[in-house]
Amino acid sequence: MKTKTKIASRKSQIPRVLVNLPEASDERLDLDKRIKVLKTYKIYIDGKFPRSESGRYYKLKDSKGNHITNMSRASRKDFRNAVVAARNAVSSWSDRTGFNRGQIIYRIAEMLETRKAQFIWELVSQGISRENSVNEVNTAIDRLVYYAGWADKYQQIFSSVNPVNASYFNFSVPEPTGVVGIIAPEEFSFIGLISNIIPAILGGNTCVVLASESMPLTAISFAEVLQSSDVPAGVVNILTGFEKELVSHFSGHMDVNAIIYTRNDPAQIKAIQISATSNLKRIHIRKDQNWMSPESQNPYIILDNQEIKTIWHPIGF
C-alpha cells in the first residue's frame, strides 16, 4: 500500500508527456502549461525543405474556419527549381534496378507505418473523420507495399518479343518518360497523392507534385518520410500553393515530359491540353476517381508514364 502511494505521487511530478507518450492528437497535451512547438510546413525540393523563394504563404484553415498553420505558397521559381532537381535525378534513379526501387518503396511503407499517428492526426485536423483518416492512412501504406511488389515485375510483363519478317530479333520494353508533373487531388489529399506519385517513380520517373490546396499537411509530412526512406534527393519534389497560379507552368515547362491532372476544373483541363502540346507532354486526366477504391491501384497506372522502346537487333547467320 505504501509503495503504491509512493509511485503515484512520483508519477504526478513527472511531466505528462513522459508518462504516457501521447498520440499527436492527444488533447491532454493542451493541459500542459508549456508553449507548444509547432511545425513549420515548408516545401520539398531536391531533398531539402526550403521556404518558398517568394517568401509568401497562405493561411490554412480547418473545416470550422480555425487557423491551423501557414503553408508556403510556392511560386513559379520554386517550380522551376524543383524541375531542375527532378531532371538531375532522372538518370541515376532510372538506372537503378527495379528491384532496388521496390526496396526503397517498401522502405517508405515501413517509415509511414511508424508515423501513422501523425498522419491520422493531420487528416483529422483538416476535417476528415477519425475513422476515414485511419482508413486512408492504412490504405496508403498497403498501396505502397502493393506497388513495391510491382517494381521488379512490370517491365517483363509489359515487354514483348515481336515476330518480324526479317532477320532481326525484335523486342519492346517500357522505359521511363522522365520528369512527371503531378497536380495531386484536392480531396483524398493523402491517398490520392500517394496513388499518383508512387506508380510514377516506381517506373524510374522523377516528379514535381503540387499538393492539395485545402489539405496539404500530409503531403509535407510525407516528404519527411521520403527524405528518411533512401529516396534520392530530387526524385520527388512537393510544392504547396495555388493551382491556378502554378498549373500553366506545369503544363508549359519544356523540361517536364508528362503531366497528371487529378482535379475537375474543365477550363483548366482544356488549358493544360493546349499548353502541353508545346513539347508533346503525355497528359493524364484522372478526374472523379475514388482513390480509396482498390481499382485505383493497378500496374497499368505504372505504364501510363512509360514509353515503349522497340529494338531491332540484327541476327547473323
Partner 1 sequence: MAVKTRKTRQSKPIPSHFPNIDQVGIEERVARLNSRSIKKDSKVKALKLALSMIDLTTLEGKDTEGKVRQLCYKALHLHDSLPKLPHVAAVCVYNSMVGIAKETLAGSDIKVASVATAFPSGMSTLKVKLQETKFAIGQGADEVDMVISRGKFLAGEYNYVTDEIAAIKEACGKVHLKVILETGELNTLDNVRKASDLAIFAGADFIKTSTGKIQPAATMPVTLVMLEAIRDHYYLTGKKIGMKPAGGISKAKQAIQYLVMVKETLGNAWLNNNLFRFGASSLANDIIMQIIKQETGRYHSKDYISID
Q: Give the residues lining the site for partner 1 (CB under 8 A).
A: 80, 83, 87, 249, 252-255, 278-279
Distance CA 73, CA 101 (A): 31
Task: For residue 317, give every residue at least 6 positions away whose Cβ sits within 8 Å of its Cβ, in sequence order, or none.
Answer: 167
Closer by beta carbon to partner 1, 101 or else 249: 249
DSSP class of residue 231?
P
313 strand-pairing partners: 169
CA end-to-end distance (rounded Å), the chain: 94
Measured from the CB atom, the residue of 278 and 290 that comes closer to partner 1 is 278
* Cβ 185 to partner 1 shortest distance, Å: 25
* CB closer to partner 1 out of 125 and 257: 257
Contact 169, 119 (CB under 8 A): no
| Residue 114 CB, nearest approach to partner 1 (Å) | 38
User: Exposed, middle or buried, 137 (CB in 10 Å: 0-12/13-18/19+)?
Assistant: buried
Quote the least distance from Cβ 51 to partner 1, whole Å.
18
Handedness of CA 234, 236, 242, 243 (dihedral sign): positive
Q: How far is the CB of 79 from partner 1 (least distance, A)?
A: 8
Of 44 and 250, which CB lies nearer to partner 1 in the complex structure? 250
- Shortest gap between Cβ of 273 and partner 1 (angstroms)? 16
Name which of 18 and 280 has its Cβ closer to partner 1: 280
